[in-house]
Chains A and B, each alone.
Chain A
Amino acid sequence: MGVGQLPTTEFNDEELDDHPETHQDPASQPAGGDMIQLLDAQGNRREDPVFGPYVESLDPEALRAFYRDMAVVRRFDQEATALQRQGQLALWVPLTGQEAAQIGSGHALRPEDFVFPSYREHGVALSRGLDMSDLLRLFRGVTHGGWDPREKNFNIYTLVLAAQVLHAVGYAMGIQRDQASAQAKGQAAEDAAVVAYYGDGASSEGDVHEAMVFASSYKAPVVFFCQNNHWAISVPSKVQTKVPLAHRAQGYGFPGVRVDGNDILAVHAVTQWALDRARKGEGPVLIEAFTYRLGAHTTADDPTKYRTSSEEDQWRAKDPLTRLETYLRAEGLADDAFFEDVRRQGQELADSVRQAVLSMEGPSMEEAFAHVYSQAHPLVQEELQWYREYEAGFENAEGAGEG
């Protein structure tokens, strides 16, 4: 029996549409499934009635800041890669190619917003004002974290794929509760939102699905920011999905937008739009930033084993830095002196993180014992005590040997 022959008359429309309030008003969503682009690969501006206005207010200084941050974080990335090659870092996760997706979205955030990154969001970290050398502590092997998540509202990196997407939704649910509580007390409510970063590979994890169900059910103020960089280590995104990842949002009942992830203006506009929406209590948005990882997944893999150089060349032609540089020069917004200054700033950052990494030393075992629990725990105390005595035994033995 085909679908057309299934009896439907026993249900009325109201029954079939049992959650009409969750259905999106089409007017509140961007039109069509096209990719949003405001600056094409040749550096030409494009008009967009919905998202264009979000970048109209950007002054030349803001546009130059976009470029500066993209260039500086790329230089940082090169330095970290070099540090890994020189044996100073155990591993590095390069971001080159994804600067526009990260700097564009990061600059759309306010200080009170909270970011849940995966492990490649070095550009977002820069935009949050993190000390960039702190990002390298994890990769140096001196800590599993590296910074206090609350200082810049930027969570520590999470290596278990997609786990942080649920944490982001929970945090957003906390913001909602804080708002309700403030309103009940007649106080001003904080208009904060949360961004969860993850990749096309992580989009296959069940946690992303559960996160979207929770976010949709409770209308949590969270923006899901998926950087589709096309490769989950060696597996292409076509193995993760048969539809544009942005389309998945429709199944959860909130808007999904695919944006040219190498176009910083478009990324910035779309993220601002999504954050505004979340802050107004209109619920989550899924942004798929269509971009490309130009380098390896990490310094442990070799992209020549799994993809062609012609594919990489095609994406190099869409380089987010070149694109913005062309635009800035064509509009007369930046000159050689500016680009030279940016280069110098990148070099200064590279020098300072190199110096910082070389001086990073591991914690003592005492510190490793110290933070297993926040309150005293007898097993940890017992093992620490044993360890101290064991270590002291070596010191005594050395002393005896010298004598």
Chain B
Amino acid sequence: MTTMTIAKAINEGLREALGQDEKTLLMGEDIGALGGVYRVTDGLQQEFGEDRVVDSPLAEAGIIGTSIGLAMRGYRPVCEIQFDGFVFPGFNQITTQLSKYHARTSGAVTLPVTIRIPYGGGIGSIEHHSESPEALFAHTAGLRIITPSNPHDAYWMTRQAIECEDPVIVFEPKKRYWLKGEVNTEDPGTSADPFSAHVVRQGSDATLVAYGPLVPVALAAAAAAEEDGRSIEVIDLRSISPIDFDTVEASVRKTGRLLVTHEAPTFGGIGGEIASRISERAFLSLEAPVIRVGGFHMPYPVAKVEEHYLPDIDRILEALDRAFSY
């Protein structure tokens, strides 16, 4: 067990992957000498060389598209997209090419490409630096999408994404890069399956689903609700595609109420998918409608108002009040 930040845990995960398999390589803008704008790849180019940790031209479609070719040649590319809002120049390559190759070749070609995307707000940045585009990718069959909320998961999910034969997008909660926690690099423990959800707090009155940057917020809201005498179970979803509906359903059958929170806009988001599926699976267990606590239907707002945009403890508690009013 070692204590480290999420950024360091990802760095260690990448180092381990690079050391284990010479076919693994990193590609991205400024990931070499600089070590990435968040220093997540710090020191890796020095250790593994310019051919393994590649400072790419400033071209997102180029990074993804050449990674597809490299994967066809037997390599395992790990792409870094510098910021969430800059993934869109590469969107075509991800959604029309990377996601579909396996199906288009009737299973003959697998593309084990990993795409790391720092995402989410709350860092006081300017536009295109704080977005949560996970639902746009989750809608595309052929991609797997995971998001860690703590250093232990960050270490293992990084390694698991690289080992996966399918394309995986890892949305990294950039606001939490400096969140510290214990990492067991010897044993993944309950994190052995990256596509499983974790119950991170037991409760009996309502289930609160969160992922990535909002897991600590959800836990704090549950602690605050406890003071009001409400026992809230918190689930860290961890995997956005596929979604571990079994774990969510089992919790809802126990608690009878479900709230889902994410930073992305509520409309057309992951929360709606969870609400719909759980309504189908456990309708008679629900004491109240499933309530979503997310972003608004607007471009990610300017930094000066983002604290009002992002779900916080109070917004979650207000939603809980609504859930308990039925």
Q: Does B184 contact A (CB under 8 A)?
A: no
A344 proximity list for chain B (CB < 8 A) = none
For residues 182 through 241 of chain B, which have their beta carbon under 8 Å from a beta carbon of chain A?
195, 241
Q: Does A217 contact B (CB under 8 A)?
A: yes
A166 proximity list for chain B (CB < 8 A) = 61-62, 64-66, 68-69, 93
Q: Is the CB of B65 within 8 A of A163?
A: yes
Q: Is the CB of A214 within 8 A of B92?
A: no
For residues 63 through 115 of chain B, which have their beta carbon under 8 Å from a beta carbon of chain A?
64-75, 77, 89, 92-93, 96-97, 100, 102-110
A160 proximity list for chain B (CB < 8 A) = 92, 96-97
Contact with B along A294-306 (1 / 0, CB 8 A): 0000000000000
Find the residue from B65, B92, B108 having the highest chain A CB count within 10 A.
B65
Q: Is the CB of A214 within 8 A of B74?
A: no
- Once bound together, how far apart are the Cα atoms of A181 and B73, in whole Å? 14
Find the residue from B22, B62, B142 having the highest chain A CB count within 10 A.
B62
Contact with B along A361-394 (1 / 0, CB 8 A): 0000001101111110111100000000000000
Which chain B residue shows the least CB distance to A160?
B96
Give the secondary structure class of A's interface.
Answer: helix
- Closest Cβ of chain A: how far from B276's Cβ, in Å? 13
Residue in A148, A149, A170, A206 whose beta carbon sits within 8 Å of that of B67 in the complex: A170
Residue in A149, A169, A206 whose beta carbon sits within 8 Å of that of B109 in the complex: A149
A172 proximity list for chain B (CB < 8 A) = 69
Q: Does B164 contact A (CB under 8 A)?
A: yes
Q: Is the CB of B69 within 8 A of A149?
A: no
B279 proximity list for chain A (CB < 8 A) = none
Q: Does B59 contact A (CB under 8 A)?
A: yes
Which chain B residue shows the least CB distance to A181?
B22
Q: A148-B108, A163-B97, A167-B65 are in contact. Are A371 and B103 (CB under 8 A)?
A: yes
Q: Does B124 contact A (CB under 8 A)?
A: no
Q: A148-B105, A163-B93, A213-B57 are in contact. Are A379 and B69 (CB under 8 A)?
A: no
A213 proximity list for chain B (CB < 8 A) = 57, 59, 62
- Once bound together, how far apart are the Cα atoms of A173 and B54, in whole Å? 11
Q: Does A111 contact B (CB under 8 A)?
A: no
For residues 289 through 311 of chain B, which have their beta carbon under 8 Å from a beta carbon of chain A?
none
- Once bound together, how far apart are the Cα atoms of A377 and B193, in whole Å? 12
Q: A210-B61, A377-B242, A378-B242 are in contact. Are A372 and B108 (CB under 8 A)?
A: no
Contact with B along A209-239 (1 / 0, CB 8 A): 0110110010000000000000000000000
Which chain B residue shows the least CB distance to A151?
B108
- Once bound together, how far apart are the Cα atoms of A51 and B237, in whole Å? 62
Q: Is the CB of B102 within 8 A of A374?
A: yes
Q: A144-B100, A166-B62, A178-B73 are in contact. Are A373 and B166 (CB under 8 A)?
A: yes
Residue in A149, A158, A177, A214 whose beta carbon sits within 8 Å of that of B75 in the complex: A177
Residue in B64, B69, B242 whose beta carbon sits within 8 Å of that of A174 in the complex: B69
- Closest Cβ of chain A: how far from B32's Cβ, in Å? 13
B residues contacting the other copy or chain, number (CB 8 A)? 48
B59 proximity list for chain A (CB < 8 A) = 210, 213-214
Q: Does A156 contact B (CB under 8 A)?
A: yes
A116 proximity list for chain B (CB < 8 A) = 69
Q: Is the CB of B166 within 8 A of A214?
A: no
- Once bound together, how far apart are the Cα atoms of A337 and B109, in whole Å? 44
Q: Is the CB of B104 within 8 A of A145?
A: yes
Q: A160-B96, A211-B65 are in contact. Are A175 and B108 (CB under 8 A)?
A: no
Residue in B25, B66, B92, B106 whose beta carbon sits within 8 Å of that of A169 in the complex: B66
- Closest Cβ of chain B: how far from A214's Cβ, in Å? 5
Which chain A residue shows the least CB distance to B96?
A160
Q: Does B141 contact A (CB under 8 A)?
A: yes
Q: Is the CB of A144 within 8 A of B62?
A: no
Find the residue from A160, A163, A207, A373 having the highest chain B CB count within 10 A.
A373
Contact with B along A164-188 (1 / 0, CB 8 A): 0111111111110110110000000
Q: Does A143 contact B (CB under 8 A)?
A: yes
B73 proximity list for chain A (CB < 8 A) = 170-171, 173-175, 177-178
How many A-B residue pairs have C-beta atoms within 8 angstroms? Tell me.
Answer: 143
Q: Is the CB of B164 within 8 A of A375?
A: yes
Residue in A168, A169, A367, A373 whose beta carbon sits within 8 Å of that of B144 in the complex: A373
Q: A170-B69, A174-B73 are in contact. Are A214 and B56 (CB under 8 A)?
A: yes
- Closest Cβ of chain B: how far from A27's Cβ, in Å? 28
For residues 103 through 162 of chain B, which have their beta carbon under 8 Å from a beta carbon of chain A?
103-110, 141-142, 144
- Once bound together, how far apart are the Cα atoms of A94 and B97, in whole Å? 24
Q: Does A150 contact B (CB under 8 A)?
A: yes
B61 proximity list for chain A (CB < 8 A) = 166, 206-207, 210
Which chain A residue shows the least CB distance to B164?
A375
Residue in A171, A371, A379 whose beta carbon sits within 8 Å of that of B106 in the complex: A371
Q: A145-B104, A370-B107 are in contact. Are A170 and B242 (CB under 8 A)?
A: no
Residue in B68, B142, B245 whose beta carbon sits within 8 Å of that of A170 in the complex: B68
Contact with B along A112-155 (1 / 0, CB 8 A): 00001000000000000000000000000001110011100001
A211 proximity list for chain B (CB < 8 A) = 62, 65-66
Q: Is the CB of B68 within 8 A of A372?
A: no
Q: Is the CB of A210 within 8 A of B57?
A: yes
Q: Does B16 contact A (CB under 8 A)?
A: no
- Closest Cβ of chain A: how far from B87's Cβ, in Å? 15
Q: Is the CB of B51 within 8 A of A180?
A: yes
Which chain A residue shows the least CB distance to B241?
A379
- Once bound together, how far apart are the Cα atoms of A217 and B307, in whole Å? 42
- Once bound together, how far apart are the Cα atoms of A294 and B110, in whole Å? 38
B93 proximity list for chain A (CB < 8 A) = 163, 166, 207
- Closest Cβ of chain A: how far from B249's Cβ, in Å? 12
- Closest Cβ of chain B: how far from A174's Cβ, in Å? 3
Q: Is the CB of B108 within 8 A of A150?
A: yes
User: A-contacting residues of B (Cβ < 8 Å)?
Assistant: 22, 25, 51, 56-57, 59, 61-62, 64-75, 77, 89, 92-93, 96-97, 100, 102-110, 141-142, 144, 164-166, 195, 241-245
> What are 7 A-B interface contacts by the 8 Å CB criterion?
A160-B92, A166-B62, A166-B65, A166-B66, A168-B69, A170-B77, A373-B142
Q: A207-B61, A374-B107 are in contact. List 12 more A-B contacts (CB 8 A).
A: A148-B105, A156-B104, A160-B96, A163-B93, A166-B93, A168-B69, A169-B62, A170-B66, A372-B102, A372-B142, A378-B245, A379-B242
4 smallest beta-carbon distances between A and B, as pairs: A170-B69, A166-B65, A174-B73, A170-B66
